[in-house]
Amino acid sequence: MRQEMRDYLDAPIDRHGTHCEKWDRLGQHYGREDLLAMWVADMDFRTVPQVQEALIERARHGIYGYTDNRAGEQAAEAAWLDRRHGLKVETDWILYSPGVVDSLFFCADALTAPEDAILVQTPVYGPFYQTAKLLNRRLVRNPLIYDDAGWRMDFDDLEAKLSQGVRMMILCSPHNPVGRVWSREELQRVVDLTARHNVIVVSDEIHADFTFDGHRQTRILSLDGAGENCVMLTSATKSFNLAGLRHSSVIAPNKALREAISNALTRAHATSPNIFGSIAQTAAYRHGDEWMDAVVEYIQENRDYAIAFLRERLPMIGCAPQEGTYLMWLDFNGLGLSHDDVQDLLVNRARVALNSGLFFGEEGRGWFRMNLATPRVNVEKTLDNISKAVRSR
C-alpha cells in the first residue's frame, strides 16, 4: 500500500467520548474502564475520505427528510459486487434493511413459520441463535469440526439434520468467529444439499470483503442453482466502518422469496432508508477500492504478527489463522483454567477486553475473540499484556 495510506491507518484515533460502544461502555460490560478494547466488531480506522466528504456535503443542506436514492445506490452496489467479487446481480434483486441482524429476523419471519426448524453451524455469531429463539423457531445445531487441519463443515451431520425437516439454514460466510472462507466446492455442496431437502439458505456475507492469503470469497449467489433457494445478506457497514449508520442489503434473485421478505419489511415500516447510511454506502462502493485493499493488507499484517507472537511466546493459546474476517478466534483451553478464570485474567491482569466465546454458543467455552482491525500498536500491547498476565499467574 502507499505510505500515505499506511499513515492514515496507523494514526491513533481516540474514540472515547463519542458514545462508542467499543470504548465508552467497557465499564458496563467488563466492570472497569482501563482496558484495551479489542472486542466489538467495528474498526478503529477512519473510513474512506470520500465517504466523509459526501456525508459532510449532505449535512450542509440542513434538511434530512424521507429519502430514496434506490436507483443510484443499487447501481453502485451491483458494480461493487461485479468489480470485487465477479458476481452479477440485477438491481431489482436488492432490498434494503436497517442492518444484517435485522435482515436475519425479517427473513426468518417471512420465510418460516412458528416451530419450523432453523439450522446454524456452531460456534456462530450470537444473533443467529436469537433469531430462532425470539421467533419461536426450533434451533438445530450442525457443529463445525475442529482438528489439526483447522475448521471444516461436518457434511454427514449436515445432511442428516437437513433431512429431518429443517426449513431454513443460516450460513455465515466467511464464518464468524472461526474465520473460515468456505471454498467454492464446500458452498456448492451446501447449495446442492439444501436444494435437495427444500431448505432455504440465508447467507450472512457481511465480512466478505475481508479475505487473506489468496483466499477468495465465493458469493453464494454465484453458485449453480443458488438463485432458487438462497438469499444473500451484505452491507458496506462492516467493510467501511459505517455500522452506526444502520444500513444493509438483502439480495434475493427468487421473486417469491424476495416479495415475501419485502412484505415483512413493509409490515415493520423498515423500508425507508437512513439518509446518511444510503449516502455513505453509495460513496463507499463508488470510491472505496484503494482504501479497502489497504485495510485488508493492514489487517493481514496484524494477523501475521499476532500468529507469530502466539507461536513464539504463547504456544499454549491455540489459533487457526483466519482466512477471512478481521476477528481472531483464540483457544485458551490450554491454560488449564475455567472460562471464567480466563476472563478474569484477561480483564483484571492483562487489562484487555475480548469477546467471550460463550456469546457464540457453548462450543465457544474456553475461547475468546480478538479484533485485529485496529492500529498495530493496539495489537502489540494487547498480546504483550496477555503474555505478561499468563506468565505471572
Q: Is 363 exposed, middle or buried (0-12, 13-18, 19+ CB in 10 A)?
A: middle
Is residue 282 located within the same domain as residue 318?
no
CA distances from 103 to 128, 204, 353, 392 (A): 11, 9, 28, 45
In-domain check, residue 59: no
> Residue 393: pLDDT above 80?
no
Residue 327 φ/ψ, nearest 5 degrees: -120, 120
List all residues 6 or more positions away from 176 whose beta carbon is below 8 Å from its beta carbon. Answer: 41, 124, 125, 204, 207, 325, 327
Is residue 195 located within the same domain as residue 311?
no
> What is the chain's percent helix, strand, coil content, to nearest 5?
50, 15, 35
Report pLDDT digits (tens) over 166-181. Answer: 999 999 999 999 999 9
Q: Taken in order 371, 373, 378, 384, is the CA torsion positive or negative?
A: positive
Is residue 182 located within the same domain as residue 281?
yes
Q: How confident is the model at residue 70, as a pLDDT?
A: 81
Q: 10 Å Cβ neighbour count for 71?
A: 9
Strand partners, 251: 94, 232
User: What domain count does the chain have?
Assistant: 2
Q: Domain end: 287, 317, 344, which one?
A: 287
CA distances from 55 to 47, 51, 275 (A): 11, 6, 10
Is residue 112 located within the same domain as residue 251?
yes
> Residue 331: pLDDT above 80?
yes
In CATH, what number is assigned to the domain containing residue 95? 3.40.640.10
3-state secondary structure of 23: helix
In CATH, what number is assigned to the domain containing residue 324? 3.90.1150.10
CA distances from 84 to 49, 80, 280, 281, 285 (A): 20, 6, 18, 15, 10
Rg (CA), the chain: 21
Residues 219, 204: contact at Cβ < 8 Å?
Answer: no
- State the Cα–Cα distance between residues 121 and 140, nearest whole angstrom: 9
- Where does the pLDDT of residue 324 fall: very low under 50, low under 70, confident under 90, or very high at 90 and above? very high
Between helix 49-59 and helix 275-287 the angle, nearest 10°, is 150
Q: How confident is the model at residue 338, as a pLDDT?
A: 97
Is residue 344 located within the same domain as residue 228?
no
Is residue 9 located within the same domain as residue 151?
no
- Compute the average pLDDT of residues 193-219: 97
Q: Domain end: 240, 261, 287, which one?
A: 287
In-domain check, residue 136: yes
Q: Which domain holds residue 365?
A: 3-48+289-391
> Residue 43: pLDDT above 90?
yes
- State the Cα–Cα distance between residues 21 and 384, nearest whole angstrom: 24
Q: pTM score, two decimals? A: 0.95
In-domain check, residue 235: yes
Is residue 8 located within the same domain as residue 77?
no
Residue type, 95: L
Report pLDDT digits (tens) over 272-323. Answer: 878 999 999 999 999 999 999 999 999 999 999 999 999 999 999 999 999 9
Q: What is the chain's mean pLDDT, rounded?
A: 96
Q: Domain end: 287, 309, 337, which one?
A: 287
Q: How confident is the model at residue 370, as a pLDDT?
A: 98
